[in-house]
Amino acid sequence: MKEKKRFLQYCLGYISCILLTMFAYLIANLNYYHNWAIISGIGLLAFIQFIVQMIFFLHLSNSKKDRLKLYIFLSMAVIVMILVIGSVWIMNSLNARMMPSPNNVNKYIKSQDGL
């Protein structure tokens, strides 16, 4: 009985992952909406699929047996968030503050009426 439940759990995880992948693929090929809407949609679907695989395939749960695994997972998630969001934030900010190219400087001077 328990074995059958496990098998069904796997099938459910597999089918929902396929559906999520196909859905993300279809959304990426839409041209009607603004890019940011599509990109956040893809990001959201990836996140959902990540959670689905973590629960159905990697058997992450809040049961007493898996509690330690869950805590290690959560601390990893915090480090990953800091790493990725922090890098993107800092580097974009640096890019925005970079010295502009000579071409752009000339354009700027011209736009300021011969400074």
Partner 1 sequence: MAENIDLVETAESTKTYLGFWIYIMTDCILFASLFAVYAVLHNNTNGGHSGQTLFSMPYALAETLILLTSSFTSGLTILAARRNNSKKVMLWMAITFFLGGLFLFLEVKEFNHLIQTGNSWRVSGFLSSYFTLVGTHGLHISIGLIWMAILVFFIFRNGLSKKTIKGLTLFNLFWHFLDVIWIFIFSVVYLMGHVGL
Tell me the residue type at 9.
Q
The terminus-to-terminus CA distance of the chain in angstroms comes to 82
Q: How far apart are CA 20 and CA 46, in angstroms?
A: 8
Closest contact distance (angstroms) between CB of 12 and partner 1 is: 11
Answer yes or no: are the C-beta atoms of 77 and 41 closer than 8 Å.
no
CB of 114 to partner 1, least distance (A): 31
* Separation of alpha carbons 65 and 15, rounded Å: 27
Backbone angles phi, psi at 95, to 5 degrees: -60, -45
Residue 89 Cβ vs partner 1, minimum distance, rounded to whole Å: 10
Of residues 91 and 109, the one with the C-beta less far from partner 1: 91
CB of residue 70 to partner 1, shortest distance in Å: 10
Pick one of 3, 96, 114, 115: the residue that binds partner 1 (CB under 8 A): 3
Q: And the tokens for 111?
A: 């736009």
Interface with partner 1 (CB under 8 A): 3, 6-7, 10, 13-14, 17-18, 21, 24-25, 27-29, 35, 38-39, 42-43, 45-46, 49-50, 53-54, 57-58, 65, 68-69, 72-73, 75-76, 79-80, 83-84, 87-88, 91
